[in-house]
Amino acid sequence: MSWFWQSVNSSVGKKIVMAFTGILLVVYLVIHLAGNLTLYGGEKAFDSYAGVLEVIKPLIRIIEVLLALVFIFHIFNGIRVWWGNKKAKPIDYAVNAKSKNSTLFSRTMIHTGVIVLIFLVLHLVTIWYPYNAGGGEVNLYKIVSGRFADPIYAWFYIVAMALLGFHLNHGFQSAFQTLGWNHKKYFSLIQTIGTIYATLTAIGFASLPIYFLYFHGR
Amino acid sequence: MNNNMKLNLKLKIWRQSSAKSVGSFVDYKVSVSPDASFLEMLDEINNELEKNNQDPIVFESDCREGICGTCGLVINGEPHGPLRKVATCQLHMRNFKDGQTIWVEPFRAKAFPVIKDLAVDRSAFDKIIQAGGYISVNTGGVPDANSIPIAKDIASEAFDSAACIGCGACVAACKNSSAMLFVSAKVTQFALLPQGQPERQQRVEAMVAKMDEFGFGSCSNTYACEAECPKGISVRNIARLNHEYLSAKVKSTNVEV
Ligand code: SF4
Ligand code: FES
Beta strands in chain B (DSSP E): 7-15, 24-32, 74-75, 78-79, 101-105, 114-116, 119-120
> Does some domain include residue B256?
no
- The answer, yes or no, to whether residue B4 has pLDDT greater than 70, is no
- The protein residue whose alpha carbon is closest to atom 1 in ligand 2 is B64
Q: Which are the contacts of A107, defined by CB distance < 8 A and separation ≥ 6?
A: A98, B175, B222
pLDDT band at B10 (very low <50, low <70, confident <90, very high): very high
Query: If residue A2 lies in a helix (H) or strand (E), which one and from where to where?
Result: helix A2-8
Nearest CB among A3, A81, A173 relative to B218 is that of A81
Q: Say what the pTM is.
A: 0.95
Q: What domains lie within chain A, and their CATH numbers? A: 2-214 (1.20.1300.10)
Tell which of B82, B116, B150 closes a domain. Answer: B116
Question: How do B7-15 and B101-105 pair as beta strands?
Answer: parallel
Q: Which range marks the domain in which residue B184 is found?
A: 123-251
Q: What is chain A's length?
A: 218
Question: What pLDDT, on the 0 to 100 scale, is given for residue B224?
Answer: 98
Q: Is B257 exposed, middle or buried (0-12, 13-18, 19+ CB in 10 A)?
A: exposed
Q: What ipTM was assigned to the predicted interfaces of this complex?
A: 0.94
Question: What pLDDT, on the 0 to 100 scale, is given for residue B77?
Answer: 98
Tell which of B69, B87, B116 closes a domain. Answer: B116
Q: Report the gap between the CA of B123 and the closest CA in chain A (Å).
A: 16
> Does some domain include residue B257?
no
Question: What pLDDT, on the 0 to 100 scale, is given for residue A137?
Answer: 67
Cβ neighbours of A79 in B, within 8 Å: none
Q: What is the mean pLDDT of residues A41-60?
A: 92
Look at A93-102, A132-141, A208-217, B121-130 and tell me which has the smallest mean pLDDT. A132-141
pLDDT band at A131 (very low <50, low <70, confident <90, very high): confident
Question: What pLDDT, on the 0 to 100 scale, is given for residue B140?
Answer: 84
- The protein residue whose alpha carbon is closest to atom 5 in ligand 1 is B166
Nearest CB among A16, A91, A107 relative to B242 is that of A16
Q: What is the pLDDT of residues B142-158, one digit of tens each?
A: 888 888 899 999 999 99
Task: Give chain A's contact residues with B (Cβ, < 8 Å).
Answer: 2-3, 6-7, 10-16, 81, 84-85, 87-98, 100-103, 106-107, 109, 170, 173-174, 177-184, 187
Q: What is the pLDDT of residues B51-103, one digit of tens each?
A: 999 999 999 999 999 999 999 999 999 999 999 999 999 999 999 999 999 99
Question: What pLDDT, on the 0 to 100 scale, is given for residue B2?
Answer: 55
**Domain total in chain B:** 2
Residues B107 and B79 sit within 8 Å (Cβ to Cβ): yes
Question: What pLDDT, on the 0 to 100 scale, is given for residue A217?
Answer: 73
Sheet holding B24-32, edge to edge: B24-32, B7-15, B101-105, B74-75, B78-79
Q: Is B25 on the interface with A (CB under 8 A)?
A: yes
Question: What pLDDT, on the 0 to 100 scale, is given for residue A114?
Answer: 98
> Does some domain include residue B237?
yes
Query: How far is it, in rounded angstroms, from Cα A198 to Cα A28?
Result: 13
Q: For chain B, first and last CA: distance in Å?
A: 62
Which ligand is closest in space to the CA of residue B39?
A: 2
Does residue B37's CB lie within 6 angstroms of at least one atom of ligand 2?
no
Look at A199-208, B118-127, B230-239, B245-254 and tell me which has the smallest mean pLDDT. B245-254
Q: Is B105 exposed, middle or buried (0-12, 13-18, 19+ CB in 10 A)?
A: buried
pLDDT band at B37 (very low <50, low <70, confident <90, very high): very high
Q: Is B105 on the interface with A (CB under 8 A)?
A: yes
Tell which of B101, B116, B131 closes a domain. Answer: B116
pLDDT band at A113 (very low <50, low <70, confident <90, very high): very high
How many percent of chain B have pLDDT more than 70?
Answer: 98
Provide the 8-state DSSP code for B58: P
Q: Is A78 exposed, middle or buried (0-12, 13-18, 19+ CB in 10 A)?
A: buried
